[in-house]
Amino acid sequence: MELSPQILGGWLEAFATEVAENEPLLTDLDRQIGDADHGANMVRGTKAVAALDPADFADARSYAKKVAMTLISTVGGASGPLYGTFFLRLAAALPDDGPIGQTDWLQALRAGVQGVLDRGKANPGDKTMLDALVPAVDAFEKDPDHPWQSAADTAAAGRDATVPMVARKGRASYLGQRSAGVADPGATSATLLLVAAARTLA
């Protein structure tokens, strides 16, 4: 695969489509344990990203940085800074445009997830997007044949594993035991990000 703004643009357009199709689900999950705005916020942010023209950017790194700033300014709530930080760190870790392999992608993904860890001050098990992202990146590393599909499948399993968890971070944590029984909205949208990657980057 040749890294380029267009390659990343295809991924983010697919993410926008996944988010739009799943807006009712994201909204319903967040209605139960949050502010009921995760669906609308993610649709607004990913639409803004999809409106960017990859051809306007000199390289994938500059495009990813713009994606980050767009998400920060349009998503709102905690998710904007978290997704924005993910893409800022991913951008910084990307190689120069040209051939990109699994090791290069792994380095970029790990940098992005570390950014979410640093910004959100959460850990796997706290019922956040990290419960999808952290195991997904581990699965990506371990599968040389189908890394993106393994990442997407593992993210989905991580999302489902948040259902019985009691939230320890974010607004859902205010509910205590009542936060159990519902999948985390952030883990759900993070899974959509990797589903989109499996569709476009595999």
- DSSP per residue, 80-127: HHHHHHHHHHHHHH---SEE--HHHHHHHHHHHHHHHHHHH---TTSS
The whole-number average pLDDT for the span 4-19 is 98
Exposed e or buried b per residue across 144-160, where buried means at least 16 C-beta atoms within 10 angstroms of its C-beta: eeebbbbbbbbbbebbe
- The percentage of the chain sitting over the pLDDT mark of 70, rounded to a whole number, equals 100
Question: pLDDT averaged over the chain?
Answer: 96
3-state secondary structure of 53: coil
> How far, in whole angstroms, is CA 57 from its chain's centroid?
22
> Rounded to whole angstroms, how far apart are CA atoms 158 and 134?
9
Q: How many helices (H) and strands (E) does the chain have?
A: 9, 2
Average pLDDT over residues 24-30: 97
pLDDT digits (tens, 9 = 90+) for 117-137: 999 999 999 999 999 999 999
CATH number at residue 16: 1.25.40.340
Residue 171 has pLDDT above 80, yes or no: no
- Is pLDDT at 166 greater than 80 in this prediction? yes
State what percent of residues in the chain have pLDDT above 90.
93
What are the structure tokens assigned to 45, written together? Answer: 């942010």
118 vs 16: CA distance, rounded Å: 25
How far apart (Å, rounded) are the C-alpha atoms in residues 1 and 28? 37
Q: Is the pLDDT of residue 76 over 90?
A: no
Domain that holds residue 147: 2-200
Q: What's the domain count of the chain?
A: 1
One-letter identity of residue 98: G
